[in-house]
Amino acid sequence: MHMRAIAIGLLMTVSFAFGLAQARLEKPQLVSTEWLASRLSDPNIRIIDARGVLAAYLQEHLPNAIFLNTETLRVSRGGIPGHLLSPERLAEIFSAMGIGANNEVVVYSSAEDAFSAATYTALALIALGHTRVGVLNGGFEKWKAENRPLTNKIPTLEPQTLTAQPNPEIFRTLDWLQKYLNSPEPVQLLDARSPQQYQAGHIPMAQNLFLREMLRTEGNVSVWRSPEEIREKLKQLGVDTGRPLVTYCNSGREASQLWFTLRYLLGVEVQTYDGSWVEWSAKGLPIER
Protein backbone atom coordinates (compact mmCIF):
# COMPACT_ATOMS: atom_id res chain seq x y z
CA MET A 1 0.00 0.00 0.00
CA HIS A 2 2.86 2.34 0.90
CA MET A 3 4.63 1.61 -2.42
CA ARG A 4 1.39 2.17 -4.31
CA ALA A 5 0.99 5.62 -2.68
CA ILE A 6 4.54 6.51 -3.67
CA ALA A 7 3.89 5.39 -7.25
CA ILE A 8 0.71 7.46 -7.45
CA GLY A 9 2.54 10.47 -6.03
CA LEU A 10 5.31 10.13 -8.61
CA LEU A 11 2.75 9.80 -11.41
CA MET A 12 0.95 12.95 -10.27
CA THR A 13 4.25 14.85 -10.08
CA VAL A 14 5.23 13.78 -13.59
CA SER A 15 1.74 14.58 -14.91
CA PHE A 16 1.85 18.05 -13.34
CA ALA A 17 5.29 18.74 -14.81
CA PHE A 18 4.15 17.48 -18.20
CA GLY A 19 1.04 19.66 -18.02
CA LEU A 20 3.14 22.70 -17.12
CA ALA A 21 5.43 22.05 -20.05
CA GLN A 22 2.56 21.48 -22.47
CA ALA A 23 0.39 24.45 -21.43
CA ARG A 24 -0.30 26.79 -24.31
CA LEU A 25 -1.04 30.50 -24.47
CA GLU A 26 -4.49 30.84 -25.98
CA LYS A 27 -5.40 34.25 -24.53
CA PRO A 28 -3.59 37.20 -22.88
CA GLN A 29 -2.41 36.47 -19.35
CA LEU A 30 0.38 36.74 -16.83
CA VAL A 31 2.83 33.86 -17.04
CA SER A 32 5.23 32.68 -14.36
CA THR A 33 8.97 32.23 -14.63
CA GLU A 34 8.40 28.50 -14.01
CA TRP A 35 6.03 28.28 -16.96
CA LEU A 36 8.40 30.10 -19.31
CA ALA A 37 11.37 28.01 -18.17
CA SER A 38 9.39 24.89 -19.11
CA ARG A 39 8.81 26.28 -22.62
CA LEU A 40 12.25 27.69 -23.45
CA SER A 41 13.04 24.94 -25.94
CA ASP A 42 9.69 25.20 -27.72
CA PRO A 43 10.30 26.57 -31.26
CA ASN A 44 6.81 28.06 -31.30
CA ILE A 45 7.59 30.47 -28.46
CA ARG A 46 8.79 34.01 -29.19
CA ILE A 47 10.22 36.04 -26.31
CA ILE A 48 10.43 39.84 -26.46
CA ASP A 49 12.82 41.83 -24.28
CA ALA A 50 11.01 45.17 -23.95
CA ARG A 51 13.36 46.76 -21.41
CA GLY A 52 14.26 49.23 -24.16
CA VAL A 53 17.97 49.68 -23.41
CA LEU A 54 20.05 48.06 -26.14
CA ALA A 55 23.25 48.04 -24.05
CA ALA A 56 21.51 46.08 -21.28
CA TYR A 57 20.08 43.63 -23.82
CA LEU A 58 23.47 43.07 -25.44
CA GLN A 59 25.00 42.35 -22.04
CA GLU A 60 22.44 39.73 -21.04
CA HIS A 61 18.89 38.67 -21.83
CA LEU A 62 16.68 35.61 -21.71
CA PRO A 63 17.57 32.89 -24.23
CA ASN A 64 16.20 33.63 -27.72
CA ALA A 65 14.74 36.98 -26.61
CA ILE A 66 14.23 39.60 -29.33
CA PHE A 67 15.04 43.22 -28.48
CA LEU A 68 12.29 45.85 -28.73
CA ASN A 69 12.08 49.47 -27.65
CA THR A 70 8.41 50.42 -27.24
CA GLU A 71 9.03 53.75 -29.01
CA THR A 72 9.29 51.63 -32.18
CA LEU A 73 5.53 51.10 -31.79
CA ARG A 74 4.59 54.80 -31.55
CA VAL A 75 4.27 57.86 -33.74
CA SER A 76 3.28 61.54 -33.51
CA ARG A 77 -0.17 62.32 -34.94
CA GLY A 78 -0.99 65.91 -35.73
CA GLY A 79 1.99 66.94 -33.65
CA ILE A 80 0.86 64.93 -30.58
CA PRO A 81 3.52 62.33 -29.67
CA GLY A 82 3.07 58.86 -28.27
CA HIS A 83 0.22 57.46 -30.36
CA LEU A 84 0.25 53.73 -31.05
CA LEU A 85 0.90 52.91 -34.72
CA SER A 86 -1.89 51.51 -36.88
CA PRO A 87 -2.59 47.77 -36.56
CA GLU A 88 -1.29 47.23 -40.09
CA ARG A 89 2.02 48.93 -39.32
CA LEU A 90 2.31 47.04 -36.03
CA ALA A 91 1.77 43.77 -37.91
CA GLU A 92 4.65 44.67 -40.25
CA ILE A 93 6.97 45.35 -37.32
CA PHE A 94 6.19 42.15 -35.44
CA SER A 95 6.35 40.11 -38.67
CA ALA A 96 9.82 41.50 -39.35
CA MET A 97 10.85 40.48 -35.84
CA GLY A 98 10.02 36.86 -36.68
CA ILE A 99 6.56 36.62 -35.10
CA GLY A 100 3.88 34.78 -37.04
CA ALA A 101 0.18 34.18 -36.52
CA ASN A 102 0.71 30.87 -34.72
CA ASN A 103 3.51 31.96 -32.42
CA GLU A 104 2.95 32.31 -28.70
CA VAL A 105 4.62 35.51 -27.50
CA VAL A 106 5.95 36.22 -24.02
CA VAL A 107 7.02 39.77 -23.23
CA TYR A 108 9.14 40.88 -20.30
CA SER A 109 10.50 44.20 -19.11
CA SER A 110 11.71 45.52 -15.77
CA ALA A 111 10.39 46.53 -12.37
CA GLU A 112 11.98 49.92 -13.14
CA ASP A 113 9.07 50.66 -15.50
CA ALA A 114 6.59 48.68 -13.35
CA PHE A 115 6.46 46.24 -16.30
CA SER A 116 4.57 48.83 -18.36
CA ALA A 117 6.86 48.34 -21.38
CA ALA A 118 5.86 44.67 -21.38
CA THR A 119 2.14 45.40 -21.06
CA TYR A 120 2.36 48.11 -23.76
CA THR A 121 3.95 45.61 -26.14
CA ALA A 122 1.22 43.12 -25.24
CA LEU A 123 -1.40 45.81 -25.87
CA ALA A 124 0.08 46.46 -29.33
CA LEU A 125 -0.13 42.75 -30.20
CA ILE A 126 -3.68 42.46 -28.89
CA ALA A 127 -4.69 45.62 -30.75
CA LEU A 128 -3.66 44.07 -34.07
CA GLY A 129 -5.51 40.89 -33.21
CA HIS A 130 -2.75 38.60 -31.89
CA THR A 131 -4.03 37.36 -28.54
CA ARG A 132 -1.62 34.48 -27.87
CA VAL A 133 0.47 36.69 -25.64
CA GLY A 134 1.75 36.55 -22.07
CA VAL A 135 3.49 39.03 -19.80
CA LEU A 136 6.21 37.62 -17.54
CA ASN A 137 5.31 38.15 -13.89
CA GLY A 138 8.34 39.59 -12.11
CA GLY A 139 10.07 40.41 -15.37
CA PHE A 140 13.81 40.29 -15.91
CA GLU A 141 14.66 40.76 -12.23
CA LYS A 142 12.70 37.74 -11.00
CA TRP A 143 14.12 35.54 -13.76
CA LYS A 144 17.67 36.59 -12.84
CA ALA A 145 17.09 36.30 -9.08
CA GLU A 146 16.07 32.68 -9.58
CA ASN A 147 19.36 31.98 -11.40
CA ARG A 148 17.58 31.02 -14.58
CA PRO A 149 19.56 30.99 -17.85
CA LEU A 150 20.71 34.25 -19.43
CA THR A 151 22.75 34.83 -22.56
CA ASN A 152 24.27 37.53 -24.75
CA LYS A 153 23.63 35.51 -27.90
CA ILE A 154 21.34 37.23 -30.40
CA PRO A 155 18.76 34.96 -32.06
CA THR A 156 18.39 34.91 -35.84
CA LEU A 157 14.80 34.48 -36.98
CA GLU A 158 13.20 34.48 -40.40
CA PRO A 159 10.52 37.14 -41.01
CA GLN A 160 7.00 35.79 -40.67
CA THR A 161 3.54 36.81 -41.81
CA LEU A 162 1.19 38.44 -39.33
CA THR A 163 -2.04 39.86 -40.71
CA ALA A 164 -3.74 42.64 -38.78
CA GLN A 165 -7.22 41.92 -37.46
CA PRO A 166 -7.79 45.15 -35.54
CA ASN A 167 -9.53 45.26 -32.18
CA PRO A 168 -10.78 48.86 -31.89
CA GLU A 169 -12.68 48.18 -28.65
CA ILE A 170 -9.40 48.45 -26.71
CA PHE A 171 -9.27 52.21 -27.12
CA ARG A 172 -11.28 55.31 -26.31
CA THR A 173 -10.68 58.54 -28.20
CA LEU A 174 -10.62 62.17 -27.13
CA ASP A 175 -14.03 62.76 -28.75
CA TRP A 176 -15.51 59.79 -26.91
CA LEU A 177 -14.15 61.00 -23.57
CA GLN A 178 -15.47 64.53 -24.04
CA LYS A 179 -18.91 63.13 -24.79
CA TYR A 180 -19.12 60.68 -21.88
CA LEU A 181 -17.41 62.78 -19.22
CA ASN A 182 -20.52 64.95 -19.25
CA SER A 183 -23.12 62.19 -19.56
CA PRO A 184 -25.65 61.33 -16.80
CA GLU A 185 -23.42 58.39 -15.82
CA PRO A 186 -19.95 59.74 -16.59
CA VAL A 187 -17.11 57.44 -17.53
CA GLN A 188 -14.77 56.49 -14.70
CA LEU A 189 -11.20 57.54 -15.44
CA LEU A 190 -8.19 55.98 -13.73
CA ASP A 191 -4.96 57.98 -13.87
CA ALA A 192 -1.98 55.60 -13.71
CA ARG A 193 0.60 58.32 -13.04
CA SER A 194 2.34 59.04 -9.76
CA PRO A 195 0.39 60.97 -7.08
CA GLN A 196 2.72 63.95 -7.64
CA GLN A 197 1.91 64.11 -11.36
CA TYR A 198 -1.77 63.57 -10.70
CA GLN A 199 -1.91 66.41 -8.16
CA ALA A 200 -0.09 68.76 -10.54
CA GLY A 201 -2.93 68.37 -13.05
CA HIS A 202 -5.32 65.69 -14.27
CA ILE A 203 -8.40 65.17 -16.43
CA PRO A 204 -11.55 66.26 -14.55
CA MET A 205 -13.14 63.54 -12.39
CA ALA A 206 -10.20 61.17 -12.85
CA GLN A 207 -9.11 59.12 -9.85
CA ASN A 208 -5.49 58.29 -9.17
CA LEU A 209 -4.55 54.60 -9.21
CA PHE A 210 -0.75 54.61 -9.44
CA LEU A 211 0.39 51.69 -11.56
CA ARG A 212 2.94 50.64 -8.92
CA GLU A 213 0.02 49.95 -6.58
CA MET A 214 -0.66 46.89 -8.76
CA LEU A 215 2.64 45.36 -7.57
CA ARG A 216 4.03 43.97 -4.34
CA THR A 217 7.49 42.93 -3.19
CA GLU A 218 8.31 39.23 -3.06
CA GLY A 219 11.76 38.74 -1.63
CA ASN A 220 13.84 41.32 -3.47
CA VAL A 221 11.73 41.47 -6.62
CA SER A 222 8.42 42.99 -7.67
CA VAL A 223 5.48 40.88 -8.80
CA TRP A 224 1.79 41.52 -9.39
CA ARG A 225 -0.57 41.63 -6.44
CA SER A 226 -3.31 39.02 -6.19
CA PRO A 227 -6.66 39.77 -7.87
CA GLU A 228 -8.23 39.99 -4.39
CA GLU A 229 -5.79 42.70 -3.29
CA ILE A 230 -6.38 44.70 -6.47
CA ARG A 231 -10.16 44.41 -6.13
CA GLU A 232 -9.85 45.80 -2.61
CA LYS A 233 -7.95 48.82 -3.92
CA LEU A 234 -10.69 49.45 -6.49
CA LYS A 235 -13.28 49.19 -3.73
CA GLN A 236 -11.39 51.73 -1.63
CA LEU A 237 -11.48 54.16 -4.57
CA GLY A 238 -15.20 53.58 -5.02
CA VAL A 239 -14.73 52.23 -8.54
CA ASP A 240 -17.83 50.56 -10.00
CA THR A 241 -16.54 47.87 -12.36
CA GLY A 242 -20.01 47.60 -13.89
CA ARG A 243 -19.74 51.10 -15.41
CA PRO A 244 -17.49 52.34 -18.26
CA LEU A 245 -13.87 52.39 -17.12
CA VAL A 246 -10.93 53.99 -18.96
CA THR A 247 -7.25 54.19 -18.01
CA TYR A 248 -4.78 56.90 -19.00
CA CYS A 249 -1.34 58.23 -18.08
CA ASN A 250 1.06 60.67 -19.76
CA SER A 251 1.27 59.03 -23.17
CA GLY A 252 -0.43 55.64 -22.94
CA ARG A 253 2.35 53.28 -21.87
CA GLU A 254 1.85 53.27 -18.09
CA ALA A 255 -1.92 53.15 -18.58
CA SER A 256 -1.44 49.86 -20.44
CA GLN A 257 -0.29 48.26 -17.19
CA LEU A 258 -3.53 49.19 -15.42
CA TRP A 259 -5.51 48.15 -18.50
CA PHE A 260 -3.80 44.75 -18.71
CA THR A 261 -4.13 44.18 -14.96
CA LEU A 262 -7.82 45.01 -14.78
CA ARG A 263 -8.72 43.24 -18.02
CA TYR A 264 -6.72 40.04 -17.73
CA LEU A 265 -6.19 39.53 -14.01
CA LEU A 266 -9.62 40.69 -12.86
CA GLY A 267 -11.70 40.17 -16.01
CA VAL A 268 -13.02 43.74 -15.81
CA GLU A 269 -14.31 45.46 -18.94
CA VAL A 270 -11.92 48.39 -19.42
CA GLN A 271 -10.52 50.53 -22.23
CA THR A 272 -7.52 52.85 -22.46
CA TYR A 273 -7.15 56.40 -23.73
CA ASP A 274 -4.20 56.27 -26.12
CA GLY A 275 -3.71 60.05 -26.39
CA SER A 276 -3.69 60.37 -22.59
CA TRP A 277 -2.55 63.48 -20.71
CA VAL A 278 -0.21 64.64 -23.50
CA GLU A 279 -3.09 64.98 -25.95
CA TRP A 280 -5.60 66.32 -23.40
CA SER A 281 -3.29 69.08 -22.15
CA ALA A 282 -1.97 69.93 -25.65
CA LYS A 283 -5.58 70.63 -26.73
CA GLY A 284 -5.97 73.12 -23.88
CA LEU A 285 -8.86 71.21 -22.35
CA PRO A 286 -10.02 71.71 -18.73
CA ILE A 287 -7.86 70.26 -15.99
CA GLU A 288 -8.18 69.75 -12.26
CA ARG A 289 -5.50 70.09 -9.62
From first to last of the 289 residues of the chain, give the pLDDT tens digit. 444 444 444 444 333 333 444 489 999 999 999 999 999 999 999 999 999 999 999 999 999 999 999 999 999 999 999 999 999 999 999 999 999 999 999 999 999 999 999 999 999 999 999 999 999 999 999 999 999 999 999 999 999 999 999 998 899 999 999 988 878 888 999 999 999 999 999 999 999 999 999 999 999 999 999 999 999 999 999 999 988 899 999 999 999 999 999 999 999 999 999 999 999 999 999 999 9
> Which domain-ending residue is among 145, 176, 195?
145
Q: What is the pLDDT of residues 123-153, one digit of tens each?
A: 999 999 999 999 999 999 999 999 999 999 9
Q: What is the pLDDT of residues 13-35, one digit of tens each?
A: 333 333 444 489 999 999 999 99
List the domain range (segments joined by +) for residue 211: 168-282
- The domain total for the chain is 2
137 and 89 housed in the same domain: yes
190 and 108 housed in the same domain: no
Query: What pTM does this model have?
Result: 0.91
- Residue pair 62/142 in contact by the 8 Å Cβ criterion: no
Residue 203 lies in a domain: yes
Q: Write the CATH number for 247.
A: 3.40.250.10
272 and 172 housed in the same domain: yes
| Beta strand 215-218 pairing with 207-208 | unpaired
> Which domain-ending residue is among 96, 112, 145?
145
pLDDT of residue 184: 81
185 and 134 housed in the same domain: no
